Amino acid sequence: MDRLFDLSLAERRSWCLAWQVPVLVLTIALDVSLALAAPDVLLSAGVLLGSGLVLVVSVVALWMPVRWLYLVPVLDIVAIASTRSETADRIAGTNTSALVPIICLGFCFGRAGLVGAVLGACLVSSSWYLRTGTLPEAGTEWISLLALPAIALALGFIGFASSSLMDRQRQALDQQAADRDALLRQVRRELDIRQAVLDSVHVAVAFFTPEGKLLFANRPAVEAASHAGVDVRGPSYRASLVWRADGMLAVPYEEQPLRLALRGEEFAPELLWTGPEDERVASLMSARQVTTEHGERLGVVVVSDEVTELVEAVRIREEFLATLSHELRTPLNGMLGFLDMLVEDLGGDPTHGNAVRTVRDSALRLSERISQLLMASSAGRMVVERNEVQVADLVGAELARQAPHAENRGVLLEGRLDPVIASLDPHLFGLVVQNLLSNALKHTPPGGTTRVELRAVGGVELIVSDTGSGMRGHERERAFDAFYRAASARRNAVQGVGLGLTIVRAVVEAHGGECVLTSDRAAGTTVTVRIPAGGGAPALGEA
């Protein structure tokens, strides 16, 4: 019964037609049969009442409120009982038309409908006996009397059971639908939150399926794609405004970041320029494939971080350092020349001679700092002039030069140098040895040891170690960054500007080699420089 309340007017009318039309058709068929076989019975009060009642119910049921719909099968049963009371002795089987409203009661109206179906069957079956005031005499008459109630009970129970099962299934489906809707709402909320979070960051993030379909992208990603001339409709996502790090060479389609990512490749952040010539921006683009724990590929995440201001700041800094260094070096060289002349002229004067030498030494240190600045600013454009060099002699000379400084600090300076001949730039490699040894001595406390080893292991291997305070993890990661100084260096007022290791790495990489730094708070720091035999791959700007 409850489900009838959920039906719309059109659905209720369809329900009425489905149950009432069969009763109306059977009633008309019976009336036609009576008109042909027993016209006098057709005009009897019981038949006229029954037929008229069925007709009225068939019309009224179409507009009947839901709460009164149970009257439709009840009145049908009353009408059929009235007709049967007049025709039971003339036409057999008139009670079969009662099966339709009986099933309707059991199927649509629950337990009350089942009881009503049985009582209605009893009324129809006994209607003739009630009108005539008699009782069944033969056994067959009793069987005929009880057959319809028994059938009604069986059919009504089947209808009731079927209806109950359908109700439970409907409730289960409704619950599943409610759970699904709740899950969908939760998913939508999570998607909205994710999109809001992604839109709130300045980094462009986009995710593509393995088939190359754009699944989602935040607002910066859409703006970055538009600026790069990317056709976001796919499927190729060809970019028309992408240049390499130099800002001059266009990136071919097959080498464009999105193309590589959609092919299943991963790459670390790469500097690219995008956009029209007068509006170009620098971006660091990277891609990472997303897979399940079983290795199934789910797609690829492409990230782009706009770093135009940072790139411009680095360029301006390098140009400023180069310009400043050149402007300082020219007058300083003149000062050093005159200071050398004064030292020679005043060599016999202990007072003025020592003062001039002190000024000259300070000027030399300033010249060294300027050289470091120039070297750092030109690290990416370093020119390597290779020669066959006795590396042990070069390192030994630097050890001898630094020995007085080590002795003054109370540091033991040890050297173990294997004879090594290599093709390298003696001036640049001398700077490597000088900076590594100078750094090690600065950070070795009095009573400590600084060791230098030179070995011929696949080329040149130079190891410089100290027994200083060492570095923490984050300090090791930034040790080669320009102008970076560890906390211990600042705390102990160690002289320097933080360019020594930067220059070392630039020189070694220009020779095709590598630098490895290991450090422990208890054991000190070790820097290992390896330059392969033959110098490795030619460096940019190599002579």
User: What digits encode the pLDDT tens for the residues 291-308?
Assistant: 988 888 899 999 999 888
Bigger pLDDT: 144 or 315?
Answer: 315
Q: How far apart are CA 188 and CA 460, in angstroms?
A: 61
**What is the pLDDT at residue 480?**
75
Contact of 323 with 330, CB cutoff 8 Å: no
Give 75-94 as a DSSP string.
HHHHHHHHHHHHHTTTSTTG
Q: How far apart are CA 197 and CA 222, in angstroms?
A: 15
pLDDT band at 463 (very low <50, low <70, confident <90, very high): very high
Do β-strands 449-455 and 412-417 pair in parallel, antiparallel, or remain unpaired? Answer: parallel
Pair of tokens at residue 328: 């300082």
Task: Taking residues 528-534, report their average pLDDT.
Answer: 86
- Name the β-bridge partners of 217: 206
Kindly give, in sequence order, each residue whose CB lies less than 8 Å from that of residue 166, ignoring residues fewer than 6 positions away: none
CATH superfamily membership of 387-532: Histidine kinase-like ATPase, C-terminal domain (3.30.565.10)
Q: How far apart are CA 98 and CA 345, in angstroms?
A: 140
φ and ψ at 210, to 5 degrees? -60, -25
Give 405-440 as a DSSP string.
HHHHHT-EEEEEE---EEEE-HHHHHHHHHHHHHHH
The Cβ-side half-sphere exposure at 423, using a 13 Å CA radius, reads 12
Q: How far apart are CA 493 and CA 404, in angstroms?
A: 21
The segment with the largest mean pLDDT, out of 93-97, 229-233, 500-504, is: 500-504
Give 178-237 as a DSSP string.
HHHHHHHHHHHHHHHHHHHHHHHSSSEEEEE-TTS-EEEE-HHHHHHHHHTTB-TT-SS-
**What is the pLDDT at residue 372?**
65
pTM for this one? Answer: 0.47
203-310 classified as CATH 3.30.70.270:
no
Domain boundaries defined on the chain: 9-173, 203-310, 312-377, 387-532
Q: Which of 162-176, 187-201, 354-368, 370-384 has the least mean pLDDT?
A: 370-384
Q: Terminus-to-terminus CA distance in the chain, angstroms? A: 97
Question: In residues, how long is the chain?
Answer: 543
Kindly give, in sequence order, each residue whose CB lies less than 8 Å from that of residue 61, ignoring residues fewer than 6 positions away: 16, 20, 69, 72
Query: Is it true that 203-310 and 387-532 share their CATH fold?
Result: no
The interaxial angle of helices 426-443 and 500-510, nearest 10 deg, is 150
Taking alpha carbons only, the member of 369, 367, 371 closest to residue 339 is 367
The interaxial angle of helices 45-60 and 9-37, nearest 10 deg, is 160
